[in-house]
Amino acid sequence: MKIGDKSRHGFHGPISLSMTSMIDATFLLLAYFIFTAAVGTHEAQLMADVTAARVGRGASALSQQVVDVESDGVGALFRIGSREVRGREALAAILKQLPRDLGVVIRVHSGPDVAAVAAAMQAAHDAGFARVSYVAASK
């Protein structure tokens, strides 16, 4: 065949490759990864176990710590036993003083917004609790 003949007996001179397409592709890939990396770093995650609402009202030394996330007329309110605090830092400060072996239960009432729930979960994480459980408060 003509094509086969050409490949067998064809021209064997120095091969020159155009670099233009490779440079184009490299820059496009670079732009793509810069773009996706910049967008991807904005989202983080907080992990929690989901359990049924069977946590008692009180907390003893042998039970998990329970943080009630509620809301009143002013805003989000965190309750640990008889103590009431507002704000993630204040909650984390209290949680740091408590034993962490059994974990903490975030019991969420229907009043507050999601930001308050996330703040409570973040406070538990900041206080060093490895196990955080999410419980929807019974109505």
Instruction: Report the interface residues with another protein, using CB under 8 A.
Output: 18, 20-21, 24-25, 28-29, 32, 35-36, 39, 41-52, 69, 87-89, 108-119, 121-122, 125, 134, 136-137
Q: Considering beta carbons, is residue 91 or 98 the nearer one to another protein?
A: 91
Residue 13, helix vs strand vs coil: coil
Q: Whole-number minimum distance, CB 42 to another protein, in Å?
A: 4
Q: Considering beta carbons, is residue 60 or 75 the nearer one to another protein?
A: 75
Report how far residue 35's alpha carbon sits from residue 138's, in angstroms, rounded to the nearest whole number: 44
Report how far residue 108's alpha carbon sits from residue 82's, in angstroms, rounded to the nearest whole number: 17
Q: Considering beta carbons, is residue 15 or 61 the nearer one to another protein?
A: 15
Q: Whole-number minimum distance, CB 61 to another protein, in Å?
A: 26
Phi and psi at 70, nearest 5°, equal -125, -175
Report how far residue 139's alpha carbon sits from residue 131's, in angstroms, rounded to the nearest whole number: 25
Q: Whole-number minimum distance, CB 29 to another protein, in Å?
A: 7
Decide: 94 and 100 in contact? Cβ < 8 Å: no
Q: Considering beta carbons, is residue 50 or 62 the nearer one to another protein?
A: 50
Q: Whole-number minimum distance, CB 125 to another protein, in Å?
A: 6
Tell which phi-psi region holds residue 129, choosing left (phi > 0), alpha (psi between -120 and 50) or beta: beta
